[in-house]
Amino acid sequence: MKQLFTCLSFLLLSGIAFAGNPDRQGEAGAYELLLDPWARTAGLNSIGTSLVRGVESMYLNPAGLVRINRLDVAFGSTRYLQGTDINLHSAGFSSKIGKSSTMGLSLMAVDFGDIPVTTVNQPEGTGATFSPSFFNLGFAYAHQFENKVSVGVLFRAISESLANVSAFGFAIDAGIQYVTGPKDNFKFGISLKNVGSPMTYRGEALSIQRPSPNGDPYNITLDQRGARYELPSMLNIGGSYDFLMGEKNRLTVIGNFTSNSFSRDNLGAGIEYAYSENFVLRAAYKEELSVAVSTEEPIHTGFSAGTSLSFPLSKYEKNTRIGVDYAFRPSRVWQGTHNIAVRISL
C-alpha cells in the first residue's frame, strides 16, 4: 500500500500542476498524441485507464504493460474520419523481463495522403503534391509489486516534418494500476500523459529573402523564429468492476474522468461483455463537460463500440492467443472513425 499511496500522490499533484481550463483550448500542438490508434481502447473511447493491458497500454496507461503472459505483439490501422483520407498506422510489442517487469516499444504514424501544392499564382494546384510526416516512438517499462500494484513509465519521441520544416520533442507518460477483490475483479488506474518539452518548427521554410536595407544590389536572408507550442498533457482517473457470471461470462462496468490541460475535461462510462475471453463486445460514451454552444462540440459524438475475437493457439495454454479487434466511433461530420487491429499473445 505504500507504493500505491506514493504513486497516487505523485500523479495527483502532477495533474493539478498541469491542469488547465477551456480558455487555453487551441494553444497546444502535436494533437496526434490524442488520436487512439488501437481498436480495443478506441472501442471504449479511451476510458479504460484501469483495465488496459499489453501493447495498448502504451497509449493509455503504461502500468498495464506488465499484465501480459510472456509476449504481446499488435498491429493496428485506423481510418480517421473516413472521407478525409487520413490514416493511422501503429505497431508495438511488449515482453516480460524477469518475473515482475515488462518492457515495450510502440510506433504510431499519421498518413495524410497526397496533398496538392498550391501557390498564390496557382490556387488550383501546381500539379505537385506533398505529404507531412508525423510519427512518435515510445519506449516503456512497467513493474508489478506483490501487493497487486503495477506502475509504468513511457518515454516518447515526437517528430513532425514537411519537406523544408520540422519539429521534434520528447514526452513522458506515467501510470499506476491497482487490482483487488476476491477474484481481482476491482481495478483502479491513474495515468498522466504527454508531459514534455515544448516544440518549435525550424527549417528553410522559415527563411525569407529581402532587399538589402543599404540599397546594395543583393538580397539578404532573414531567419524567422517559429512559435513554441506545448504538448496536450492530460490526467486520467478510472475504475472498473468485473461481474463474473459462471466460469465463462464476464460483464465489466467502467468509469473514467479525464482532466485536459488545453481543453475541456471529459467524463466517460462504458461496459464490456466477454464470453470465455474468446468473444468480447464493448461500448462507451464520453462527454465533454461545460460545452457552451454546439459549434464548440467535439468532432466525435461521444459514442463508441467495438468487438474482439480471439482464439487460443494451444489447447494447453489458454493465454497463448491470436485475436482481431474492431472499433467504430461516429462523428458529427464525415463518416466516423474505424479502428482494426491484429494481436498475438504468447
Instruction: Write the pLDDT tens digit of every residue in 113-156.
Output: 888 889 888 988 888 888 899 999 999 999 999 778 999 999 99
Question: For residues 329 and 43, what is the distance between their CA atoms, to the nearest angstrom?
Answer: 8
pLDDT score of 324: 97
Please name the residues in contact with 292: beta carbons below 8 A apart, sequence gap of 6 or more.
none
Query: What's the average model confidence in pLDDT over 60-64?
Result: 96
Residue 284's CB is within 10 A of a number of other CB atoms, namely 26
pLDDT score of 17: 44
Give the CATH number, domain containing residue 263: 2.40.160.40
Residue 36 is classified by DSSP as: -
Grid cell locating 273: 461483455
Domain boundaries, position 252: 2-345
pLDDT score of 6: 47
What confidence category does residue 220 fall into, taking pLDDT thresholds of 50, 70 and 90? confident
With b for 16 or more beta-carbon neighbours within 10 A and e for fewer, the 178-214 pattern comes to bbeeeeeeebbbbbbbbbbeebbbeeeeeeeeeeeee
pLDDT score of 296: 65
Q: Are 337 and 326 in contact (CB under 8 A)?
A: no
What confidence category does residue 22 fall into, taking pLDDT thresholds of 50, 70 and 90? low
pLDDT score of 295: 52
What confidence category does residue 109 fall into, taking pLDDT thresholds of 50, 70 and 90? very high
- On average, the pLDDT of the chain sits at 88
pLDDT score of 281: 98
In which residue are the cell numbers 496557382 written? 122
Query: What's the average model confidence in pLDDT over 250-254?
Result: 97
Share of the chain above pLDDT 90, in %: 63
pLDDT score of 312: 87
Q: What is the pTM of this model?
A: 0.88
pLDDT score of 277: 86
More confident residue, 21 or 14: 21
Query: What's the average model confidence in pLDDT over 280-294?
Result: 81
pLDDT score of 205: 81
More confident residue, 77 or 319: 77
| Count of the separate structural domains present in the chain | 1
Q: Which of 76, 77, 70 is nearest to 94 (CA)?
A: 70
Residue 15: pLDDT over 60: no
